Structure 1
Amino acid sequence: MAQPQEQYQKYYVPEQSVWPIVGAVALFLIAVGAGNFVVEVTRDKSGIGGYILLAGLVMLTVMVVGWFKNQIDESMSGLYSAQLGRSYRQGMAWFIFSEVMFFAAFFGALYYARFIAVPWLGGASNNAMTNEVLWPAFEAMWPLVATPGGTETTAMGWGLPLMNTIILLISSVTLHYAHTGLEGNKRKQLAVMLGITILLGVIFLGLQGYEYVHAYRDLGLTLQSGVYGNTFFLLTGFHGLHVTLGTIILIVLFARIMKGHFTPKEHFAFEAGVWYWHFVDVVWVLLFFVVYII
């Protein structure tokens, strides 16, 4: 008796792409340019750091647009299969996990500085002699009153950050309803809720920019304000970068929705954007309590 033939799914393997190397060069230029630009600003000197940073950002934008276009064309051409869809889900899950570890490193650095290094320098845990030798006038408090260079740090108020927290929490709710609208084939609900989410993301970034200007101009909280200033701008700055990326992703998804893309059953690209945005929101809630409240 003849055995039934096994059914194999197709698995699309894309052609070689130039975009990974373009993205790698762009990120290299951004890293070098940003580092030099920060040094130039803090030392009040001119240089090419800003131009290198701008070149990296332009190249990164070109890479994102080109790569997104290729992916969208492949998806709309019906080249993907269920197996490839599972691969995408696994890839997105691992990507978000890597981002979790990325922020965990910075939260760990803040924890070490605040709860281990500062008390240790203040003479805790039988380190009184260390306190006398390294920094006799040191006061173990957070934020630090003074740094070795004499620059005082100023604690930020949490009124504006609380407002931003509420904005991001609301954006998670609107994005959830956009997702349910897509699953229920309610295109108007999908478009309206996603549009509101994008607007809330832009408002968040605008308020964070205002907070930075206020910190530098009025409070004297800068990158030179000791470990408090460094950790503050490091955590909030990288989170702002992730919100920017998430907003760009949502804008691309909104444009695709306006063109009639996605169906209630086939919409992982949209779902991946939802995962990423919710991750960014969770990180901000943790950041709000650790940086502004505790």
Structure 2
Amino acid sequence: MTTANEREQTHYFVPQPSRWPAVGAVALFCLGLGAAFAVNGQPLGKLSLGVGVLILIYMLFGWFGDVIRESRHGDYQGKEDMSFRWGMGWFIFSEVMFFGAFFGALYWVRVVSVPTLGEMDYKILYPDFEPSWPLLTGPGITKPYQAMGAWGLPALNTLILLSSGAMVTWAHWALLQGRRAQLKLGLLLTVLLGTLFLCLQMYEYGHAMSELNLSLASGAYGMTFFMLTGFHGMHVLLGTIILAVVWLRVMRGHFDGQHHFAFEAAAWYWHFVDVVWLLLFVFVYWL
């Protein structure tokens, strides 16, 4: 179904040639070069990484600033809006596949690999192996560790993240109703709850390493635990930054009930982060 804007629109906005892709390529080159130097212990590694990060931040501010100015100028109508929605939808789909691969690895280890290694055919190779989850014996496990429990800090983080999802939904409703004060408050609470989640997760990691002796070297359990929760934490950080930028735009009077796709995109991403955490809580912490 086409909207009124799409029916009235006579052309599709195409921006002028931009320098930002080239600037981004330079940033990525510096980051890749710095990573290679750092891995090999070269002194220029940290310098190249720092320069790459600074150039990348400069590119992000400049490129997104141009997009915001184009949006405020009214260059984006119905057709561009639909393109943005499709783009964000495919981006979130790619993230679903990304986490699906890690959840698939967790499933394979728990349901296929561990029971198979516990069969009689492998007893000669691994006589002391116990086919239980989390793994406490087996190749690669050099120190005993304790698994992270579900109740306590992980359950509190679940409540915090679900509350943040409710706050961003409240903010969206306030935007549609034209209630700017509630919109600002709801977004601010979402950002603060996301920041609190990250702080508690850092504390959880410190507790896991120091008190539970849990690390990436703790066999398949340690690897899957830190890979899944770590990548999720990275996405929470990204989502919090996006929401903070949206909040700053709201404070400057941007968005209204009809034109607010940037807000919607941030909300979609945040709800995706919430759903992934619920799956993590069930399959990594609880079961």
TM-score surpassing 0.5? yes
1:135 is aligned, of 126, 132, 135, to: 126
Equivalent of 2:144 in 147, 152, 156: 152
Q: Give me the whole-angstrom Cα distance separating, in 2, the residues matched to 1:32 and 1:134.
A: 42
- Kindly indicate whether the alpha-carbon contact (under 8 Å) linking 2:170 and 2:183 is maintained by their aligned counterparts in 1: yes
2:144 match: secondary structure = coil
Is 1:85 the counterpart of 2:81? The answer is yes
Mapped to 2, the partners of 1:228 and 1:28 lie a distance apart of 34
Deviation per residue, 1:209-252 (Å, 9 max, x gap): 11111111221111111111111111011101100110011111
2:267 is aligned, of 252, 264, 274, to: 274
Call closer, same or farther: CA 1:120–1:157 in 2, change over 3 Å: same
Q: State the Cα distance separating 1:57 from its structure 2 match.
A: 3.7
Q: Does 1:73 align with 2:64?
A: no
Partner amino acid, structure 1, of 2:54: V
Aligned residue number for residue 233 of structure 2: 240
Out of 163, 172, 189, the position equivalent to 1:170 is 163
The number of residue pairs the alignment matches comes to 279
Q: 1:58 corresponds to which residue?
A: 54
What is the RMSD computed on CA atoms of the aligned residues? Answer: 2.5
Alignment counterpart, residue 222 of structure 1, candidates 201, 215, 230: 215
1:15 alignment partner in structure 2: 16
Q: Is the 8 A contact 2:128 2:137 kept in 1?
A: no
Q: Where in structure 2 are the equivalents of 1:114-125 lying within 5 Å?
A: 114-123=110-119
Q: Distance in 2 between matches of 1:236 and 1:32?
A: 28
Secondary structure, aligned partner of 1:194: helix
Name the residue aligned to 1:3.
none
User: SS at the partner of 1:219?
Assistant: coil
TM-score, normalising length from structure 1? 0.87
Gaps of 5+ in 1: 1-5
- In structure 1, what residue type is equivalent to 2:85? R
Query: Does the CA-based 8 Å contact 1:174-1:193 persist in structure 2?
Result: yes
Query: Unaligned stretches of 5+ in structure 2?
Result: 1-6
Alignment of 1:191-206 (within 5 A): 191-206=184-199
Change (3 A) 1:7 1:228: closer
Q: CA deviation at 1:64?
A: 2.1
Q: After the TM superposition, which residues 22-37 of structure 1 pair with which residues of structure 2 at under 5 Å, given as runs?
A: 22-23=23-24, 26=27
**What CA distance in whole angstroms lies between the structure 1 residues aligned with 2:68 and 2:192?**
24
Q: TM-score under structure 2 normalisation?
A: 0.89
Cα deviation for residue 18 of structure 1 reads 3.4
Q: Distance in 1 between matches of 2:216 and 2:243?
A: 31
CA distance change for structure 1 residues 7 and 185 in 2, over 3 Å: closer, same or farther?
Answer: closer
The Cα of 1:143 is off from its aligned counterpart by 1.0
State the Cα distance separating 1:293 from its structure 2 match.
Answer: 0.3
Amino acid at match of 2:236: V
Q: Distance in 2 between matches of 1:208 and 1:236?
A: 9
- The answer to whether the 8 Å contact 1:147/1:225 transfers is no
SS in 1 for 2:267: helix
Q: Tell me: CA distance 1:31–1:205, structure 2 relative to 1, closer, same or farther (3 Å).
A: farther
Q: Which amino acid aligns with 1:148?
A: P
